[in-house]
């Protein structure tokens, strides 16, 4: 599944197209500077990989699925 990043993820820039891999857990912490602000509800996090092979762990709220 492909997605576009809505928030910078380490070395992968906002707006990058990424391939979504497997679920890696849940995000229990959201800071005020995260997209959508602080949140008390946990969300799944997934490993995503960009076209350069860089992999990051990303909260599902920071992904826009591309079909």
Structural domain boundaries enclosing 37: 2-66
pLDDT tens digit string along 9-64? 999 999 999 999 998 878 666 666 665 565 667 778 899 999 999 999 998 889 99
Q: How many domains does the chain have?
A: 1
8 Å CB contact between 40 and 34? no
pLDDT confidence of residue 43? 77
Residue appearing with tokens 């992968």: 12
pTM of the predicted model, to two decimals? 0.76
Per-residue confidence (pLDDT) for residue 39, from 0 to 100: 63
Q: What are the tens digits of pLDDT across the range 51-62?
A: 999 999 998 889
Q: How many angstroms separate the CA atoms of 54 and 1, rounded? A: 16
């Amino acid at each position: 599944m492909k997605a576009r990043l809505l928030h910078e993820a380490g070395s992968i820039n906002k707006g990058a197209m990424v391939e979504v891999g497997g679920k890696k857990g849940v995000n229990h912490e959201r800071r005020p500077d995260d997209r959508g602000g602080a949140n008390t509800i946990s969300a799944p996090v997934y490993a995503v990989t960009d076209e350069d092979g860089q992999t990051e762990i990303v909260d599902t709220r920071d992904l826009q699925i591309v079909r």
